[in-house]
Chains A and B, each alone.
Chain A
Amino acid sequence: MMTFSPTDLFLILPELLIVTAACIILVLDPVLRASDKDGLVWLSLGTLAVCMGLTASQMNTSAAIFSGLVVIDAYGAFWKLLLYFVTGLTILLSHSYLKEERLYFGEYYGFVLLSLLGMMVMVSSSDLLTLYLGTELMSLSLYVMVGLKRSEPRSLEASAKYFVLGAFSSGILLYGISLLYGATGSTRLPEIAAAISGRNLDDPLLLFATILLTVGFGFKLAVVPFHMWTPDVYQGAPTSVTAFMAVASKAASFGAFLRVFMEGLGGLKANWSAMFLLLCLATLILGNILALVQTNVKRMLAYSSIAHAGYALIGVVATGHMENSSGIASVLLYLSLYAFMTFGAFAIVAMLRKGGIEGVNIEDFTGLAKRHPVAALLMLIFMVSLAGIPPTAGFIGKLYVFMSAVEAGLPWLAAVALIFAVISAYYYLRLVMVMYMREPSDLSSTSPRMVMSPALSIVLACAVAGVVIFGIYPNPLVNFAMQAVSALK
């Protein structure tokens, strides 16, 4: 009855290391003195570095392990490497941020790692049951992390809201999975693909299953109309957690979602792409328009992250009209470039302090260029990149997505997206204008200041290096994304 071998265990070594590190952190935290807790940060970072090496060495393997429930392939490796990187940045940012917020939770790092583990399970599962459990592991850790600022009602409200809506969407996802099991007789993606080949959505069971899966994933990806939770949760959560959610959780959800719809439901491509076209348009329109009227930077970035999910969906829609999967490659590229700029922007927001609290209103950025020229310059680069202006990474990402839309015979979709990219430039550049064009009102002690630390400098340097380098020379990342997508069946 033995259905796994030691090789299987070796292939999931990164996952095992992450669990071990998380458990060590959870056990050590109560016995360590507050001054020694920096060790937990180094432990997590070290584990991530080792895992990065291990996963990079798995780039060329392609193996289905644990009786076909988990696959180790280049596609999973792409997402995992991105997730390690983002998690590393999150831990570095949290190290400074949690000190500023006076949140001394060693468990925090344990939750970050366990959440990462859930994401890794999501992107490498080829079975819907495993995928569901991965999603739950990721979400449960995030619910706790969102509510960590317990002294602040807004954080608790965000946590409760996220929990209720997250549980609701998990239920819908599970319902979709069970209907798909009813329609195809399996939860494994290859078997589902075999069972639905030649069928289309005239089968009501398959239709409902696809719709429910779309709704379930829609909540996780925060696409309109399943985005209602996003602004409140992103605003209420501690900013380091917001950055983690906006980047890592979105990337992992996209990774799992694309695998399910390409490997499992690939036969229904033409059908689901019409459905995603509607979601994509609604997301682009609502995300960008609502971002225009925000005065809180965290809420603005929340709507911006909704809008960016809309741009990424263009690549998914395009894939439905194409024979090859270059549309999917453009989604991978878009999300990895999006990671750099969004994380950088949130890092700056996290460290802009006004008195004892975060300066999250647009007015708090007034005249930042005078007081902190470097921080203002970095924010300028991130904003320009988010707006998609060359020569930054944001431009490259949009270029490839739009190109895939044109290639798929949907030039009008690219045109609509371009119009909304121009509209989005208004709210991104408004922040730049506030930073550069307005004089700081007063220089008293209550005026916002930047808190710099070595860890934060590393985070910002990594983010800005990604934005600038991949904006000028994106070829390595493009080839990597192509290689990853070719592993997708």
Chain B
Amino acid sequence: MSQLFFGYFAGMIAITSILVVALRNPVYSALSLLVMFFHVAGLFITLHAEFLAAVQIIVYAGAILVLYLFVVMILNVTQDDRYHSQWRIAGVVCIPLFIESILLLSGGAGALNTGSSSLQSEPHEAITANNTLAIGKTLFSTYLFPFEVASLVLLVAMIGAIVIAKRDIGERDA
């Protein structure tokens, strides 16, 4: 059963990813990206990582994709052929990736398994418990300090964007 779901999600992710780069209309590209994000979230759910799935939808589908659509609509780039003549570059990039995947599938697979065996014992704990609860508890106890620093990073980013973009009010009343 889980194999079936994995096959469906993985297949859809592959197809929609190709559509993102192959479609000529940027709005259609963005929409197939959206479909892809939802399927990645589905993949997380099959791994019992519902928190990650929710974050995937909220952050990527909710925030980042909306940003993309805004850019596409504001710049009005409905038909721009500049980015469709890059197949040569794509071909060059594909070759090492292809070789790498062949290597991983044949010889490298054994090496990978030995490396990850020690790490496999840990995730089971998180799966049995409610993992959102577990993440929340860790975030607000063990990782409280970095969590607070991260909140300051966001504060700086937000105020910084406003300061850079606002009009020169200060210079006028001085």
**Of B143, B149, B153, B170, which one neighbours A34 at CB under 8 angstroms?**
B170
Closest to B116 in A: A182
Q: Interface size for chain A: under 10, 10 to 19, 20 to 34, or 35 or more residues? A: 35 or more
Contact of A1 among B118, B141, B153 (CB under 8 A): B141
Query: A residues 173-226 with Cβ under 8 Å of B?
Result: 182, 185, 205
Instruction: Say whether chain B's binding surface is mostly helix, strand, loop, or mixed.
Output: helix
**Beta-carbon contact of B119 and A185 below 8 Å:** yes
Kindly list chain B residues whose C-beta atoms are within 8 Å of the C-beta of A159.
Answer: 164
Contact A66/B145 with A1-B137, A104-B171, A144-B163 known, Cβ cut-off 8 Å: yes
* B136 CB to nearest chain A CB (Å): 11
Q: What 0/1 pattern do residues 33 to 72 of A give for CB contact below 8 A with B?
A: 0100000000000000000000000000000001101100
Question: Is A141 interfacial (CB 8 A cutoff)?
Answer: yes
Complex interface bits, B141-174 against A, C-beta within 8 A gives 1, otherwise 0: 1111110011011011101100110001011011
Q: Are A141 and B164 in contact (CB under 8 A)?
A: no
Chain A window 91-134, contacts with chain B (Cβ cutoff 8 Å), 1 for yes, 0 for no: 00000000000111111001100100110010000010110011
> Are A130 and B146 neighbours in the complex by a CB distance under 8 Å?
yes
- Report the bound CA distance from A26 to B160 in whole Å: 11
The digit string for A139-165, where 1 denotes a CB below 8 A from any CB of B, is 011011001101100000001000000
Interface contact A26-B149, CB-CB below 8 Å: no
Q: Is A136 an interface residue (CB 8 A)?
A: yes
A31 at the interface (CB under 8 A from B): no
Does A4 belong to the interface (CB within 8 Å)?
Answer: yes
Closest to A26 in B: B159
- Report Cα–Cα, A70/B149, bound state, in Å: 12
Q: Which of A4, A103, A144 contacts B160 (CB 8 A)?
A: A144
The verdict on A102 contacting B171 (CB below 8 Å), with A66-B145, A150-B164 known, is: yes
- B-chain residues with CB within 8 Å of residue A12 when the two chains form the complex: 145
In the complex the two chains form, is B142's CB within 8 Å of A3's CB? yes
Q: Which A residues touch B163, using CB under 8 A?
A: 105, 107, 111, 144, 148
A107 near B145 with CB under 8 A, answer no
Min Cβ gap B130→A in Å is 15
Contact A140 B153 (CB under 8 A): yes
Contact B160 A143 (CB under 8 A): yes
Is A137 touching B153 in the complex (CB atoms < 8 A)?
Answer: yes
Question: Which residues of the other chain, A, contact B150 by a CB distance below 8 angstroms?
Answer: 133
The smallest C-beta distance from A270 to any residue of chain B, in angstroms, reads 25
CA distance A67 to B173 in the complex (A): 49
Give the complex CA separation of A143 and B144 in angstroms.
26
- Cβ-based interface call for A406 (8 A): no
Q: When A141-B160, A185-B118 are in contact, do A66 and B144 touch as well, CB less than 8 Å?
A: yes
B143 contacts A137, CB within 8 Å? no
Residues on the B chain within 8 Å of A293, using CB: none
CA distance A148 to B156 in the complex (A): 14
Bound together, the chains give a CA A475 to CA B1 distance in angstroms of 73
Asked if A150 and B168 make an inter-chain contact with CB atoms under 8 angstroms apart, the answer reads yes
Residues of B within 8 A of A134 (CB): 149
* CB atoms of B170 and A133 under 8 A apart: no
Are B173 and A34 in touch, CB under 8 angstroms? Answer: yes
- Across-interface contacts of B149 in A (CB, < 8 A): 118, 121, 130, 133-134, 137
Q: Are B170 and A104 in contact (CB under 8 A)?
A: yes
* In contact, A102 and B141 (Cβ under 8 angstroms): no
Q: Are B164 and A147 in contact (CB under 8 A)?
A: yes
Complex contact B143–A129 (CB within 8 A):
yes
Chain A: CB-nearest residue to B119: A185
| Nearest-Cβ distance from residue B163 to partner chain A, whole angstroms | 5
Q: Which of A67, A105, A144 contacts B142 (CB 8 A)?
A: A67
Residues of the A chain whose Cβ atoms lie less than 8 Å from the Cβ of B146: 69, 127, 129-130, 133
Q: Is the CB of A117 within 8 A of B152?
A: yes
Binary flags per residue of B99-123, CB closer than 8 Å to A gives 1, else 0: 0000000000000000100110000
Q: In the complex the two chains form, is A111's CB within 8 Å of B171's CB?
A: no
B109 to chain A, nearest CB (A): 16
Assembly CA distance A134 to B145 (angstroms)? 11
Instruction: Return the chain B residue nearest A115 by Cβ.
Output: B156
List the interface of chain A (C-beta within 8 A of B).
1-4, 12, 19, 26, 34, 66-67, 69-70, 102-107, 110-111, 114, 117-118, 121, 127, 129-130, 133-134, 136-137, 140-141, 143-144, 147-148, 150-151, 159, 182, 185, 205
Interface, chain B (partner A; CB < 8 A) = 115, 118-119, 137, 141-146, 149-150, 152-153, 155-157, 159-160, 163-164, 168, 170-171, 173-174
8 A-B residue contacts at CB 8 Å?
A1-B137, A2-B141, A66-B145, A69-B142, A70-B145, A102-B174, A134-B149, A137-B153
Instruction: List the 5 closest A-B pairs by CB distance, nearest first.
Output: A144-B160, A104-B170, A66-B145, A133-B149, A34-B174
Given contacts A66-B144, A133-B153, 13 further A-B contacts (CB under 8 A): A1-B141, A4-B145, A34-B170, A67-B141, A69-B145, A69-B146, A102-B171, A107-B163, A130-B146, A136-B153, A144-B159, A147-B164, A205-B115
